[in-house]
A and B are shown apart, each in its own frame.
Chain A
């Protein structure tokens, strides 16, 4: 009789990934707006966190004025590039930091069963409200810094600055993907997210030349946070000749960004494969 109608479910209409992401994000934003006070707090949090970074740099600078020939505006450029990069990272990819929470609540396992890429579901899990705060502070810091600096802004220099900020975002994404992969593999290692944030926020704001060689090496070749601020800023402010190792490094940040992210994605896939087998 009429068994045909109930047997075949209507095939799901294929939805583009971007469309899917916007739909999920809109729903996420609405759920966050449900609690207005918490929403405001989240924005304020982005602001306050970035303020600690700026305060640390300015307090240090006011007490120890000679930072290897770099002036305040020039040092602020290092942290501004990093902070804009961080704000954009938080806006698009900041949910990576929620993975420990997603694992604990079992939501991550649900992501694995849905027909959409896991990483996309993580990125769109929650609307990144506190990124708004981060970006506000980053924008203020950048505008203060630009007013202090005496740079001839050619089209090339502006493009270089924009590219530097985008690459700072990508570098942060790559590094955090490595940590996310570790968190999947070793439950309880989530304090590494805090570590990266803190280390980049505290030590990524200075000319690399003030640090001893070991730190210059680590921040260049190990955890390359120097490419998310210092190296491009050295070119923009005319400090290329003071750069450690090789002067060519001031142009290397796009390559570093690509390499870190490619390695990060590979690590993430390995972590995910391990998790699927054992999780």
Chain B
């Protein structure tokens, strides 16, 4: 007589021996795909914003080939288009999956973050990777169309391209960490709408997402350039347009990396504290 073999646990976790956390990176694109009107609306918002900014800068620069604060018309337009693609894309995508600590705390389901076999910090990080890649796909599509239609100028040199790409990647890390820190404050405040919007304001103003930082008074730009917000948009875009020479890129990249590390450490610390004071509403 043969003994029945013990039932084997089924589920994705057994397939490769361990959970494949990287698949969480597809969470955001798939959620977006599930709501197709969102994609239509995002396309509409991004395309019209880009178009409007191009027309605005052309109108302001006029016909002449003047340079304002070291930016000529084509640099200003390129800066503005890229900043819009990077900033608006990101803002519109924000909360796409509603998987923020804020919304999870409000409905109490945040508890699932802490009972899964995957640490909440890693779960969010993988999701963040997906968010970044998805936003990058939008940027690449916009950039390709912009280059093809002549709205956006190509970077001056290959070196500039390389440093701009590197700087963009560092910027995405900083972007994620800033968002995470804001989101984690809701473990203490429950509703972090206020903090959220204040940081969104700082982000818009100090990242160059609204007006190129170059147009601000010098003292404002000098301060702004050394804050983490500039690392997200201003630095990569300035490198791309050649307004910051590739030869001077070293310091800027180092500063971006430094912000990335500092914010990551702050994030780790916050996660640690947040997990300890988790309060589940209604449960």
Chain A residues at the B interface, C-beta cutoff of 8 Å: 35, 37-38, 40-42, 44-45, 48-49, 51-52, 55-56, 59-60, 63-64, 104, 186-192, 194-195, 198-199, 202-203, 210-212, 214-215
A227–B211 Cα gap in the complex (Å)?
25
User: What residues of B have a CB within 8 angstroms of the CB of A215 in the complex?
Assistant: 52, 55
Do A212 and B55 have beta carbons less than 8 Å apart? Answer: yes
Do A63 and B49 have beta carbons less than 8 Å apart? Answer: no
Do A194 and B92 have beta carbons less than 8 Å apart? Answer: yes
Do B98 and A210 have beta carbons less than 8 Å apart? Answer: no
User: What residues of A have a CB within 8 angstroms of the CB of B13 in the complex?
Assistant: none
Other-chain residue from A40, A41, A51, A188 in contact with B41 (beta carbon distance below 8 A): A188
Check if B12 is an interface residue, CB within 8 A of chain A.
no
Query: Contacts A41-B195, A187-B35 given; 17 further ones with Cβ under 8 A?
Result: A38-B193, A40-B194, A41-B193, A42-B193, A44-B194, A45-B201, A48-B198, A52-B201, A186-B41, A189-B41, A191-B42, A192-B41, A192-B44, A194-B45, A195-B41, A202-B52, A211-B55
A186–B44 Cα gap in the complex (Å)?
14
Do B210 and A38 have beta carbons less than 8 Å apart? Answer: no
A151–B116 Cα gap in the complex (Å)?
67
A203–B215 Cα gap in the complex (Å)?
17
A189–B154 Cα gap in the complex (Å)?
33
A186–B35 Cα gap in the complex (Å)?
9
Q: Which 8 residue pairs are nearest across A and B when measured between Cβ atoms? A: A41-B194, A188-B38, A188-B35, A186-B37, A189-B41, A48-B201, A188-B37, A45-B197
Do B197 and A48 have beta carbons less than 8 Å apart? Answer: yes
A44–B198 Cα gap in the complex (Å)?
8
What's the least CB distance linking A147 to chain B, in Å? 22
Other-chain residue from B36, B55, B68, B191 in contact with A38 (beta carbon distance below 8 A): B191
Do B55 and A194 have beta carbons less than 8 Å apart? Answer: no
> Which residues of B33-65 have CB atoms within 8 Å of chain A's CB atoms?
35-38, 40-42, 44-45, 48-49, 52, 55-56, 58-61
Do A42 and B194 have beta carbons less than 8 Å apart? Answer: yes
User: What residues of A have a CB within 8 angstroms of the CB of B61 in the complex?
Assistant: 64
What does the 1/0 interface line of B82-104 toward A look like (CB < 8 Å)? 00000000011000001000000
Do B48 and A199 have beta carbons less than 8 Å apart? Answer: yes
User: What residues of B have a CB within 8 angstroms of the CB of A199 in the complex?
Assistant: 48-49, 52
User: What residues of B have a CB within 8 angstroms of the CB of A190 in the complex?
Assistant: 41
Do A189 and B37 have beta carbons less than 8 Å apart? Answer: yes
Given the interface contacts A42-B193, A188-B37, A189-B40, does A52 sit within 8 Å of B49 by beta carbon?
Answer: no
User: What residues of B have a CB within 8 angstroms of the CB of A49 in the complex?
Assistant: 197, 201
User: What residues of A have a CB within 8 angstroms of the CB of B92 in the complex?
Assistant: 191, 194
Given the interface contacts A49-B201, A195-B48, A210-B60, does A56 sit within 8 Å of B210 by beta carbon?
Answer: yes
